[in-house]
Structure 1
């Protein structure tokens, strides 16, 4: 039995250790430089103050021009290439852009408009067209699918950004600085094995990463078992050491015993990030459609965009973008300034609010499952299931404001909703599978644990030490494995 443990560990390690070494190196890079993204805060900071011409179209005209048969899931009014434009989103990853001045659908983005969008993003800076693509190494995210094709524009700002402009709306939807592009060659692009995408095997990318992670996890478990079997705890070998190995092999043996458990948890949690075999997918996801209380329609918004801008300005908010929301069957317009600060305009009484009354959101949430009890809690501080990360991290772009309302439902999956009191948005939906993912991925892989996150030098030291230990094991294992493979090939030629 021992012989088979050694053989499985050895031959799995010949392949897996190479990828594990790459994962640890790239993982350290990702601690400080994430995959390129345009966060909501960055997007708002680069928008001009929203201004409308007299005679701009009303919401009813906008909805009719976009799709007279279907209600949108989202409505925003922003500035695109120097002009106000409504952006409507529909089910099935479909976006429609309507010109606020004419009420006509915007034409598909072309090179001229892409350059104009880039000049709005970075006024006074030279811009250069880099062509249109369906996707490239910095735009692999599925979140961009509704915006493809993407127009790339290089801008000569201090960060030497590469901007990606939506082919459907004309908005800048991603920026990639020179620093991000440079470090990501050995960062997220390598960590997520993105070289396997875009070469005709995109459909196999997920299974390849999943089964490679599974093989690496098995190899690490076997390695820890072998290491314990070979270590003499009460006596020594003839060399005087508790390990029978010398040189690189001893480093591998001792490193495995010191860091083996952490290595297993990291590789296993990386496997969990792929949601293998849909372990964390909900069998009965809770529908939150009733939270809106009705579709987005013009009748719920008697006050127009120009009036909303006037009232927000009177309240001291220099609006960059407007968003229309239905909550509990009532209409609200949310105004955002360049720093992401918000105000709420209630259509019921025309008042401008700093945040929602918790009772308003609670009543709207109750409509989701009115026949069942629910528990409501207002959070004034972060906890294990609701917390913020650095913007460059994988989920750091998601805004996690405080205070927030947590609503717990008595449905089969024991679903929790987090409701943003500043915008009324459903920030997150956590059921039992997703809470399990929080433990098996978020905690074990990124060590998203508040006592560590709140003390960044401690978190950094922990993650770097952990990574160095994993690199020691995988690096020495790679050397040993390839030495063994070389000997086997040499004997095979005789």
Structure 2
């Protein structure tokens, strides 16, 4: 009976792998090929540096309304997540982001709320971009392939404007606020159809419904885990290293089946860990903690929660800044001035005079981030490490790391110049870093420090995966044909 059960189990093992594999090998092939493209071309997004480089210098002489008045006009009853002053063409405006995602734009000249701009004003906004050659309006959209996610919802509709440069740059300008929301280039648009879009199963018709998209990818990748695990298991069962087959081979198969078997054994662990880590990227069951900063945490860090920062400017900073950001640190108001090149300076909001923030002030404010825990780690990172590094996302150094003795052993990373909290990570996040980033993108410290080696290993792993999946397509097609 035991032998009969083993034979039946093996039979179902083979049947499961065969028929689910036939249905999913095209997906595996697509994922491995698109993953290689994603190594070099990311999905379009607007970075802070790109946004700053497209802004004109602040016209301080036109600023009449104070930040406090802007918050009152916008109806904020607590200090916002963001409070910035920059230019909307020739008008200085305050841009406010609430903790509930609400966005408000208030003129710093006369205090009026700006909730729509004209196509002509949008064209003028793009004229300050460094690549602007012959800006022209393409159309007005609510949503397209590059602006499909929900984070653009407060900014819709969007004016889509071509800059007329050699790179084929297109800007998306919010018809509500006049902010540049996104930029894309011709290269990004072309290669992403071979990269991120197929890799993430990202067509607009599906991705516009975030919940539906997540469920589809969750179940497809979960089924593919079954295919990978059963295939590797079968490969081990059919392998003979000592008592070889009659021909002296370690595999009983020939032709495409032999390629499928041997490549699956050589790259099987890589395929299994890769698809498993990709499935984890959806954070099933919300098992892994988020990295966001809750309002109450930032209120403790800032030492202030009321919608106030400076009643009036007694003098304006003599600065070529393109943006001023108003923040609190340990009960102290600060104005962060940002140049077009991204360089930041600190000023005192009431006077506009340059000032600095000491590391001790930052550590003192950070000690209040978690009220029921004690700070046990204070470190300045001069070089990237395993948990703070640049690869797919740019990370600044130096950076301050503070840690607490709470149940999650939480760390915070803080900008030593401005005091901005750049990120939060606990034991759950550090586990996710190894289960996802390390297994899926091979973000191991040794490889990250030797980029050509990382490229070669990822290419090799992807090639093995493509051989396994492409041979599976041929085998499946032949079986279906019969």
Map 1:156-167; keep pairs closer than 5 Å: 156-167=164-175
| Cα drift, residue 346 of structure 1 | 3.6
| Cα drift, residue 450 of structure 1 | 2.3
Contact 1:332/1:346 (<8 A) preserved = yes
Aligned to 1:188: 196
Greater alpha carbon shift after TM alignment, 113-122 vs 18-27: 113-122
| Cα drift, residue 222 of structure 1 | 0.8
Map 1:125-274; keep pairs closer than 5 Å: 125-195=133-203, 197-198=205-206, 202-274=210-282
| Cα drift, residue 194 of structure 1 | 0.8
Q: Does 1:65 align with 2:73?
A: yes
Contact 2:330/2:364 (<8 A) preserved = yes
Q: Does 1:294 align with 2:294?
A: no
Cα distance in structure 2, aligned partners of 1:266 and 1:337:
41
The partner residue of 2:420 within 416, 425, 432 is: 425
Greater alpha carbon shift after TM alignment, 116-125 vs 342-351: 342-351
Contact 2:150/2:208 (<8 A) preserved = no
Pick closer, same or farther for the CA change 1:304–1:388 going to 2, 3 Å.
Answer: farther
Secondary structure (helix, strand or coil) at the match of 1:484 reads helix
- Spell out, residue by residue over 1:19-40, the C-alpha distance to the aligned partner (whole angstroms, 9 max, x if none): 1111111110000011011111
Q: Which structure 1 segments of 5+ residues have no match?
A: 488-494
Secondary structure (helix, strand or coil) at the match of 1:53 reads helix
- Spell out, residue by residue over 1:363-405, the C-alpha distance to the aligned partner (whole angstroms, 9 max, x if none): 111123345321222211111111112xxx3xx2xx5222211
Q: Does 1:332 align with 2:334?
A: yes
Cα distance in structure 2, aligned partners of 1:257 and 1:429:
39
Secondary structure (helix, strand or coil) at the match of 1:5 reads helix
Greater alpha carbon shift after TM alignment, 211-220 vs 134-143: 134-143
Map 1:309-324; keep pairs closer than 5 Å: 309-310=317-318, 313=319, 318-324=320-326
Secondary structure (helix, strand or coil) at the match of 1:378 reads strand
Secondary structure (helix, strand or coil) at the match of 1:324 reads strand
Aligned to 1:491: none
Q: Which structure 2 segments of 5+ residues have no match?
A: 1-8
| Cα drift, residue 409 of structure 1 | 1.7
Cα distance in structure 1, aligned partners of 2:173 and 2:292:
36
Secondary structure (helix, strand or coil) at the match of 1:322 reads strand
- Spell out, residue by residue over 1:409-441, the C-alpha distance to the aligned partner (whole angstroms, 9 max, x if none): 222322211111122111111122222211111
Aligned to 1:463: 458
Greater alpha carbon shift after TM alignment, 444-453 vs 342-351: 342-351
The partner residue of 1:49 within 47, 50, 57 is: 57
| Cα drift, residue 159 of structure 1 | 1.1
Cα distance in structure 2, aligned partners of 1:248 and 1:55:
72
Cα distance in structure 2, aligned partners of 1:348 and 1:306:
7
Pick closer, same or farther for the CA change 1:303–1:168 going to 2, 3 Å.
Answer: same
Pick closer, same or farther for the CA change 1:296–1:146 going to 2, 3 Å.
Answer: farther
Contact 1:301/1:332 (<8 A) preserved = no
- Spell out, residue by residue over 1:126-173, the C-alpha distance to the aligned partner (whole angstroms, 9 max, x if none): 222222222211112333232222221122112111211123321111
Aligned to 1:384: 386
Secondary structure (helix, strand or coil) at the match of 1:92 reads coil
TM-score by length of 2: 0.92
Root-mean-square deviation (Å): 2.3
- Spell out, residue by residue over 1:34-82, the C-alpha distance to the aligned partner (whole angstroms, 9 max, x if none): 1011111111122222222346222222222222544322111112234
| Cα drift, residue 99 of structure 1 | 1.5
| Cα drift, residue 108 of structure 1 | 1.2
Pick closer, same or farther for the CA change 1:82–1:238 going to 2, 3 Å.
Answer: farther
Pick closer, same or farther for the CA change 1:274–1:330 going to 2, 3 Å.
Answer: same
Q: Does 1:442 align with 2:434?
A: no
Secondary structure (helix, strand or coil) at the match of 2:127 reads helix
The partner residue of 2:313 within 301, 304, 311 is: 304
Cα distance in structure 2, aligned partners of 1:282 and 1:423:
23
How many residue pairs match? The answer is 471
Aligned to 1:492: none
